[in-house]
């Protein structure tokens, strides 16, 4: 799929065309992972789960409550860090 006339705003924001959002099931507040490889940006939606509706329902049974949004953010950070380090490792190997 190709989207033309996608521009970057002064604040660095990009609007994903409706057709693409619909096809990839990207809605409001959908988390996205940006991967930079070989001068390209890959955009991946991080799927949400129906379990998110149950967030906090078992907190009385947990030793420590942590909102699902915080856990998800940590996981996304770890995924991005892992992908980035793999990419950097690959880039170094190309030049060796």
- Answer yes or no: are the C-beta atoms of 21 and 6 closer than 8 Å: no
- The predicted pLDDT at position 49 comes to 64
Domains of the chain by residue range: 18-95
- Answer yes or no: are the C-beta atoms of 31 and 46 closer than 8 Å: yes
- The predicted pLDDT at position 58 comes to 66
The pTM (predicted TM-score) of the whole model is 0.46
Q: Percent of the chain having pLDDT more than 70? A: 77
């930079």: which residue's tokens?
36
Cβ density class 40-63: b for 16+ within 10 Å, e for less: eeeeeeeeeeeeeeeeeeeeeeee
- The predicted pLDDT at position 11 comes to 94
How far apart, in whole angstroms, are the C-alpha atoms of residue 15 and residue 27? 12
């Amino acid at each position: 799929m190709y989207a033309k006339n996608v521009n970057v705003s002064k604040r660095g924001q990009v609007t994903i065309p409706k057709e693409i959002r619909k096809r990839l099931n990207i809605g409001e507040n959908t988390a996205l992972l940006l991967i930079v490889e070989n001068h390209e940006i890959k955009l991946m939606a991080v799927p949400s789960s129906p379990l998110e509706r149950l967030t906090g329902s078992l907190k009385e049974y947990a030793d420590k409550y942590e909102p699902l949004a915080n856990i998800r953010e940590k996981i996304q950070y770890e995924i991005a860090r892992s992908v980035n380090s793999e990419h950097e490792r690959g880039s170094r190997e190309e030049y060796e």
